[in-house]
Chains A and B, each alone.
Chain A
Amino acid sequence: EIVLTQSPGTLSLSPGERATLSCRASQSVSSSYLAWYQQKPGQAPRLLIYGASSRATGIPDRFSGSGSGTDFTLTISRLEPEDFAVYYCQQYGSSPETFGPGTKVDIK
């Protein structure tokens, strides 16, 4: 199965700053089938990005995804207070789908 690694483990930033999160796969993710989720404490994950770069319904355009092959990036252009959370990447290019360990974005 494909193993996903996310970096950094924790990102400490201030509101208004830009966040860049990385997700690396142990082998190429076919068709750029990579998704990103946001999870806040006590809540279920929420789909942000699918297909590496397509925003899910209702997701603000400050969230953007990019990448292909084994290297993917989630960028939050200007952090809002509600964006401080844990972010997971997930590949669905091959079964079983797998998740990365997450990156926590917290307030500096």
Chain B
Amino acid sequence: QVQLVQSGAEVKKPGASVKVSCKASGYTFTSYGISWVRQAPGQGLEWMGWISAYNGNTNYAQKLQGRVTMTTDTSTSTAYMELRSLRSDDTAVYYCARDGEDTGYRYAWYFDLWGRGTLVTVSS
């Protein structure tokens, strides 16, 4: 069935990096972009950025520029999100979500399919 399957929970120390994966199935991976959204404990939803599964173009939230990198592997229909220089306030559940039809260029859209989330805990 149509789904996004994310990698498991991670515990990291401040200053470290984390890389979360998101494997798509049930649809043509390169036909839709992938966005990443995070949710700190007890808080709301924050859009982190987008990657085109079609051509690899990216667009990141301004506050994360320089710390986040999103990539894809079309051979395995998998998207990745790497966050560097982790801080305690990066502790959150990280979701991948299917974005709009992929033209290779960024446009804001809604998210019709979500992964189950990956808890990243940053603690010394």
Contact = CB atoms under 8 A, between A and B. Distances in A.
Interface of A: 33, 35, 37, 43-47, 50, 56-57, 88, 90-102
B111 interface: yes
A102 B59 contact: no
B59 A95 contact: yes
B110 A90 contact: yes
Interface stretch (B24-32, B66-74, B113-121): B113-121
Contacts of A43: 116
B10 interface: no
Contacts of A33: 108, 110
Interface string B38-58: 000000111100000000000
A44 B95 contact: yes
Given A35-B110, A95-B108, 7 more contacts: A37-B45, A44-B115, A47-B112, A90-B45, A94-B108, A97-B47, A98-B47
B9 interface: no
B112 A99 contact: no
Q: Which of B47, B59, B117 has the most C-beta atoms of chain A within 10 angstroms of its own C-beta?
A: B47
Contact of B110 (A50, A96, A98): A50
A28 to B, nearest CB: 14
16 contacts: A35-B111, A37-B111, A44-B95, A44-B115, A44-B116, A45-B45, A57-B112, A92-B109, A93-B108, A95-B59, A95-B106, A95-B107, A95-B108, A96-B47, A97-B110, A99-B47
